[in-house]
């Protein structure tokens, strides 16, 4: 990618308006699983055990 990069709010607004809600939900669940897996390898006592995106 070349500069300028879109801001986080711009990306979030785009996602909410242009992505299918079920696809967005699937992406958030996958991201949550990947973050949990990453943290579980780095910290044997993570600050949380699970996160589920709001319905």
Count CA within 13 A, CB hemisphere, residue 20: 3
Q: If you search the block for the tokens 């879109």, which residue do you land on?
A: 6
Closest alpha carbon to 12 in 26, 28, 29, 34: 28
CA distance to 10, 11, 13, 15, per residue, from 5 (Å): 10, 10, 15, 16
Percentage of the residues of the chain whose pLDDT score is greater than 70: 76
pTM of the model: 0.47
The pLDDT, as a whole number, for residue 50 is: 66
């Amino acid at each position: 990618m070349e500069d300028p990069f879109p801001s986080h709010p711009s990306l979030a607004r785009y996602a909410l308006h242009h992505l299918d809600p079920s696809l967005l939900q699937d992406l958030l669940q996958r991201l949550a699983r990947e973050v949990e897996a990453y943290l579980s390898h780095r910290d044997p006592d993570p600050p949380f055990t699970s996160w589920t995106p709001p319905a």
